[in-house]
A and B are shown apart, each in its own frame.
Chain A
Amino acid sequence: MQKNKRKRTIHPASLWTLPSAGLLLSLTIAPLVMLLLFSFMNRNLFAGQPWPGWTLGNFTRMFQAEAFWSLLWKSLGIGLLVTAICIVAAYPAAWAIAKVVRPRFRGTLMMVVILPFFTSQLLLIYAMMNLIQTGGIVMTALESLGIHGNSILYTNTATVLVLVYEYVPYMILCLYSSMEGIGDNLVHASHILGANRAKTFINVVFPMSVPGLLSGILLVFVPVVGTFVEPNLVGGSNGMMVGSMINTQYKDNLNMGYGAVLSCTLLIVLCVIMAIISYGARRAQRKIGGDV
C-alpha cells in the first residue's frame, strides 16, 4: 500500500476540476482578500480616481463604535434564540418523521418539510407578514376573541418569528438525517433493559443525533446572525441587526473601507464559533464511534 501511494501520479481526468478550482480561487478566496485589503483603505475606490491611501482608521473607528458591538451582540443573541427555538421545535418533528410515522410516508413528509425552501426567502417573509399584520388573519382572529393589541409586525419579535419560520425546515432536515440511522432495535433494547423514555433519549437518541444537530446549528445560526433582509423588512425602526449596519455602509453611506472592516469582523466571529461547533462535532462523532 505504502509503495502504491508513493507512485501515485495525477490522473489526467482530475484536471476537469480546474475550472471550478479557478472559480473558487477568483470568486471566493480573492474576494476575501479584497475584504482585507479594502479594510485598510482611507477612501472609497472609484474608477478613474487616484488610488486611495492606507489607514488603520477603519479599525479604530470600529473599536470605538458602540453601535456595532451592541448590534453584534444582539445579532448573536437573536441567532442563539432562533437556533434554540428551531432545535426545540425540530427534535420532536424529526423524531416523529424518522421513527413514529409509517416508513412509506417518511420520504413524502420530508419533501413536505423542505418545500418552503423551493419557494423563495422573500415570499416566506411576505407570507408571514401578511399573516401577522394589522388586519391580517391572526389579528382579526384575536380581535374577534376580544383580545385587542398591536400587531407584533415591525418589532424584534417579528424578526425572530420570521427567522424561525424560515429556518426550522433546515433543522428538521439535519436532525432527521442523523436520526434516520438510529436502529429501532437500539431504542427497543434500551426500553427492554429498563430505561424510561427520558433516559433512552439522553443516552441513546441524543448522542446519535449530535452530528446532525451540530450541522443544523451551523446551517441556522450562521445565516441568521449575518442577515439583514428580515430585520429590514419586519424589524421596524428598532429592528437593526449587525447585517443591517453593514448593509447601510454600502447602500446608504457608501463607506467601503468601514463596511469591509465590519464584514471581516463578523466573518471572523462566525468562523471562531463555527470552528468550536465543528470541533464539537468531531469530538462527538469520535465519542460515539468509540462507544459502539
Chain B
Amino acid sequence: MSKGFNRFILVCLWIVLAFMYIPIVAIIGMSFNGTAYGMFPYVFTTRWYTTLFTTSNLPAACWLSLKFSFLVALAALVIGTLTSYGLQYYSPRLAKKFNSIMQLPIIIPWLVTSISILLLATFVGMGRSYLTMFLGNLIVVLPYVVLLVNARFMEMDRTPESAARLLGASPARVFWDVTLPGILPGVMAGGIMALIVCFNNFVLQYYLAPVGVNTLPMTVFTRIRSGYQADLNALSAIIVLVAVVVVIIFSRLGYSAGSLFGMSSGSKPKKGE
C-alpha cells in the first residue's frame, strides 16, 4: 500500500543507526591504528593494547571501579529485591506512590543529586569518602533493581507460593525456594544494570569520591580533556565488546529493551511460563 513510504522510513532508521554507530566503529578502528594522532595513514597495530595493559593508568582505575561497582550492585541487589518483594504486599495505590518516589533519584539531574548528597555529607561531618560515594551511587542504582524485579513479579505466577505456604513451609523457606527462583532473571538483570550504571556514573563519583581517589570515569574525564589518547581507544573497544555481551545476556534473560527502563509494554519474557 505504501511501499515508497516504508522505504523512506527504513532509510531514516539506517541513517540514525549510522549516526549512532559510526563514532563507535571509528574508535574501534582507531584502537588498531599505529598513527598516534589523527586517522591517516592507517597502520595496523596492537601496540595500544600492549600500552593499555603495561604502562597506562587506566587498568588500575578500571579495577577500582569494578570492585566498587560490584559492592554497590550487590547492596542494591539485596535491598532492591527485598523492596520489590515487600511492595507486592502493599495496596496497589500505595505501591504506585512508593514506586514514583523511588524514581526520584533517576529523574533529578545527577549534578543536583551529587551536590545535595555532598552537602549532607558535609553537614554530618563525613565529607567526601568511600562511604559517601558508596551511598550516593547506591541510591541512584537502587531504582533500576526495584524496577526490573517489579516487572518480573508482575509476570510471575504467585500461586506456587501460596501452595508452599499451605503445605507448611515457613515464609523464609517460601521466599528462598519458590519466590527467589521465580524472580531470579529480574534479580540478575537488576544486578547487572546496577553494576553498569554505577561503573559509568561519572558525576556522582566526581563529587563524592575521597580526594585523590580516581575511579575509571574520573580518570577518563581527566584524560579526555588533554586530547587524543591511544590507550583510551583500546579501552573503549574493550568496553564496547563487554557492552555487546551484556546486551546479549539481557536478551537471554528475557528482557526487551523497553523493560530495562520500566516501560510498561514490551516486557513480555521470551521464555514460556
Contacts and interface: CB of A to CB of B under 8 A. Distances in A.
Contacts of B217: 120-122
Interface stretch (B47-55, B113-121, B181-189): B113-121
Give chain A's interface secondary structure class: helix
Interface in B66-114: 79-80, 82-83, 85-91, 98, 101-102, 104-105, 107-113
Contacts of B242: 118
Nearest to A228: B111
B252 to A, nearest CB: 11
A45 B122 contact: yes
B24 A119 contact: yes
Contact of A250 (B101, B115, B224): B115
A27 B197 CA distance: 17
A110 B16 contact: no
Nearest to A16: B86
A114 B259 CA distance: 12
B112 A226 contact: yes
Nearest to B240: A119
B43 interface: no
Interface stretch (A53-61, A63-71, A85-93): A85-93
Contacts of A172: 16
Contacts of B258: 110, 173, 176-177, 180
B111 A165 contact: no
Contacts of B2: 191, 197
Interface residues of A, number: 101
B113 to A, nearest CB: 7
Interface residues of B, number: 99
Contacts, number: 279
A113 interface: yes
Contact of B91 (A8, A27, A127): A8
A116 B239 contact: no
A31 B24 contact: no
Given A16-B86, A126-B232, A243-B109, A24 B24 contact: no
Interface of B: 1-2, 5-6, 8-10, 12-13, 16-17, 19-20, 22-24, 26-27, 30, 37-40, 79-80, 82-83, 85-91, 98, 101-102, 104-105, 107-113, 115-120, 122-123, 125, 127, 135-136, 138-139, 142, 146, 171, 196, 199-200, 202-203, 207, 217, 220-221, 224-225, 228-229, 232-233, 236, 239-240, 242-244, 246-248, 250-251, 256-258, 260-261, 263-266, 270
29 contacts: A13-B171, A16-B86, A24-B102, A27-B105, A27-B138, A28-B104, A31-B113, A34-B119, A34-B120, A35-B119, A37-B123, A90-B16, A92-B8, A93-B12, A96-B9, A100-B9, A108-B251, A113-B257, A118-B242, A119-B236, A119-B240, A130-B27, A172-B16, A177-B265, A180-B258, A218-B107, A222-B109, A246-B115, A250-B207
Interface of A: 8, 11, 13-21, 23-24, 27-28, 30-32, 34-35, 37-38, 45-47, 89-90, 92-93, 95-97, 100-101, 107-108, 110-116, 118-131, 133, 135-137, 140, 165, 168-170, 172-174, 176-178, 180-181, 191, 197, 212, 215, 218-219, 222-223, 225-229, 232-233, 243, 246-247, 250, 256, 259-260, 263, 266-267, 270, 274
